[in-house]
Amino acid sequence: MENTTIPELVHPDTVRRAVVPAHWLKYSLLLAGPLLFWVLGYGELLPIAPKMQLVIGVAAWMMVWWISEAVALPVTAFLPIVLFPALAILDLPTTAANYTNPTILLFLSGFVFALAVERHNLHTRIALHIVRLIGTASHRLVLGFMVATAFVSMWVNNTAAALLMLPIAQSVLHLLEDDFRRAGQERQFRPFAVSLLLGLAYSASIGGIATTIGTPTNGVLLGFLRDSYKTDISFTGWFVVGFPLAVLMLTATYLILVRLLFPVRGHALPDASAIIRDKLTALGPIRYSEYAVSALFLLTAIGWIFRAFFVKWLGADFLNDTIIGMSGALLLFLTPDPTSKTGFLFDWSSMNKLPWGILFMIGGGLALAKTLESSGIIGLIGDTVASSGTHDYSGLLVALVGITLLLKIIIANTPLATAALPMVFGIATATGIDPILLGAPVTFAASFAFVLPMSTPPNAIVLATSQVTIRDMIKAGLLLALVGFLLLIAFGSTYKWMTN
C-alpha cells in the first residue's frame, strides 16, 4: 500500500472536533509497538533463545505500526537501521545493504520510467487509444478503462495507475450522464458508474501482478528469493505466469461487475466517441518526446524479455534485469530533447515525485526477513509445521492463500507480503516444497485487494468520488476474493504439476 493524498470526505469542522480523540488513538498505537517489543523481547514468554525473542519483538513492533499506520508506512521501515545494530541482531553494514538491494534498484528504474511517461503525458494518449479501440458502448467503456488501467499498472505502481486514470474516467462519467438522461436511462447510470470506477480500482491491483515491476509486493518476493535461495526470476519468467493470471482475473472482474452485480446495458452512447476523440485532439499530434520515451521503454522491455539470449549468445554474464532497467533509466537522463527547457528528455527535478517511501518499505522488509532467517526463526517455524505431519502441498497452498486473502482485507499489500513470505519460505524449506510454489501464490494473494478501502489506495481513491459506496465495494470484493482464491489454487496446482 503506497501513501497517497485522498480527497476529504468529511466537513472540516468535523475534522477539528475529532482531532483530539484521533490524536490520542494515534499516540496509543504509537506506544503499542515498543510496548509489545518489550514484552516479547524481554518478557521470556517464549521458550526460545534471547536473540530470537528480540527479533520477534522487533517484528511485532513493525507489524503493529504497519497495520495501524500509527506513523507513515516508510517510517516504520527505518526501525531496522536503528534497532538491529543497537540490539546486536545485525550489524549496520549488513542491515543497510538491504536498502540498496538489486530488487529495489529495479523498482527505482521502473519509477523513473513511470515519471517520464507521466511528464510527457504518454499514459493519457495510450489509455485513450485503448478505450477508443475497444469501443464506446457503455459496457465496452468499462472494459476499455479496465484494460487501460491494468496496462498502465503493469509498469507503474498501482496507486499511480489509479490516480492517472481517474480524472479521465470522471470526465467521461460527468459528460455521459446527460446521455443516459436523454435516453431515459437515468437508473442505468449508477450501475455504469459503479462498474467503471470499481473496475478501475480493481484493475490497478490486478495489472500489477503481471510484471516484476508492477507492484512492490512482487519486489518483496524477488528480493527474498535472491537473498535466501540465490534464485533470480527473470522478467520473462515472471510474465509467463503473472500475465495469464492477470488476464483471467481481469476477465472475471469484468463479468462479475458488468454482467452480475451492476449490470450495464450495451447500448451505444452518442457522445462517448466524441469525448474520446476530443481528448485525443486536445493532446495534439504525438511529439518527439513521446516517441523517445516509448522507444527507450521498448528497448528496455526487449532487454528484459530477451535477457537470457543476450547472456548466452553475447557472453554477458553480468547482465540482469536490474542492470537493464537502470541502463534504460540512465538513457532517459542522457537523451537530448531540444524542445525541453533543460535540453534533455528527463531531468532530476522531475524526481521530486518519486515514491521513495516504497523503496524504503521494501528495504525494511528485506532487513526484517534477513534477521528472521539468520536468527533461526524461519527454520523453527518450518520445523514446527513439518513435525506436525503437514506435508501435503495442496493443503498448505489452500491454508496459506486463504489466510493471506483474509489478512489482505485489513493489511496493506507490501507489509503483508513482508510478514508472510519469510514464514512461507520456512514452511516450504522444511517440508521439501519448492519455495516458489508457495511463495508466488501468496504474493499474488497479497495484491488481491478488493474488499475494503483500507486494503489498498486505489480502493480508497474511487470511494472518495462518492459514486461508489462501501457496500458496493464489499459486495463485489468478497466475490472477487473468492474467485481469486480459486484461481490461485488452480494456478499453484497446475504449475506444480508442470514442474514435476
pLDDT at 282 over 70: yes
Q: Is residue 441 part of a domain?
A: no
244 and 287 inside one domain? yes
224 and 134 inside one domain? yes
pLDDT at 266 over 60: no
Name the pLDDT band for 281 (thresholds 50, 70, 90): confident
Q: Is 344 helix (H, G, I), strand (E, B) or coil?
A: strand
Residue ending a domain, among 288, 322, 353, is: 353
Q: How far, in Å, CA of 204 to CA of 229, rounded?
A: 30
125 and 46 inside one domain? no
pLDDT at 340 over 90: no
Cα–Cα separations (whole angstroms), residue 349 to 76, 105, 156, 342, 430: 27, 19, 19, 10, 49
Q: How far, in Å, CA of 252 to CA of 306, rounded?
A: 31
Q: What is the pLDDT of residues 311-335, one digit of tens each?
A: 777 777 788 888 888 999 999 999 9
Q: Is residue 140 part of a domain?
A: yes
Mean pLDDT of 242-257: 95
Q: Is residue 293 part of a domain?
A: yes
142 and 269 inside one domain? yes
What confidence score (pLDDT) does residue 389 get?
A: 60
Q: How many domains does the chain have?
A: 2
Q: How far, in Å, CA of 239 to CA of 237, rounded?
A: 6
Q: Is residue 169 part of a domain?
A: yes
Most confident of the following: 196-205, 231-240, 283-292, 463-472: 196-205
250 and 208 inside one domain? yes
Cβ contact 176:303 at 8 Å: no
Rg of the chain taking only CA atoms, in angstroms: 23
Q: What is the pLDDT of residues 23-77, one digit of tens each?
A: 787 788 899 999 999 999 888 787 788 888 999 899 889 888 887 778 887 888 8
170 and 112 inside one domain? yes
Q: Is residue 439 part of a domain?
A: no
Task: Please give the grid coordinates belonging to residue 139.
Answer: 459496457
What confidence score (pLDDT) does residue 331 get?
A: 94
Q: How far, in Å, CA of 498 to CA of 393, rounded?
A: 14
Most confident of the following: 129-138, 149-158, 482-491: 482-491
Name the pLDDT band for 11 (thresholds 50, 70, 90): very low
What confidence score (pLDDT) does residue 207 get?
A: 93
Q: How far, in Å, CA of 193 to CA of 126, rounded?
A: 22
Residue ending a domain, among 353, 374, 402, is: 353
31 and 170 inside one domain? no
pLDDT at 134 over 80: no
Q: How far, in Å, CA of 193 to CA of 142, rounded?
A: 9
pLDDT at 445 over 90: yes
What confidence score (pLDDT) does residue 10 get?
A: 38
Cβ contact 155:114 at 8 Å: yes
288 and 181 inside one domain? yes
CA neighbor of 399 nearest in space, from 452, 365, 441: 441
In this prediction the pTM is 0.74
Mean pLDDT of 293-303: 87
Q: Is residue 402 part of a domain?
A: no
171 and 23 inside one domain? no
Q: How far, in Å, CA of 374 to CA of 422, rounded?
A: 11
Q: How far, in Å, CA of 97 to CA of 371, rounded?
A: 13
232: containing domain: 103-353
Residue scoring higher pLDDT (184 or 498)? 498
Q: Is residue 363 part of a domain?
A: no
Cβ contact 430:382 at 8 Å: yes
Q: Which residue has the cell 531496522?
A: 80
CA neighbor of 41 nearest in space, from 33, 32, 50: 50
The rounded mean pLDDT for the chain is 82
What confidence score (pLDDT) does residue 198 get?
A: 95
Cβ contact 462:200 at 8 Å: yes
156 and 29 inside one domain? no
Residue ending a domain, among 298, 331, 353, is: 353
65 and 113 inside one domain? no
157 and 296 inside one domain? yes
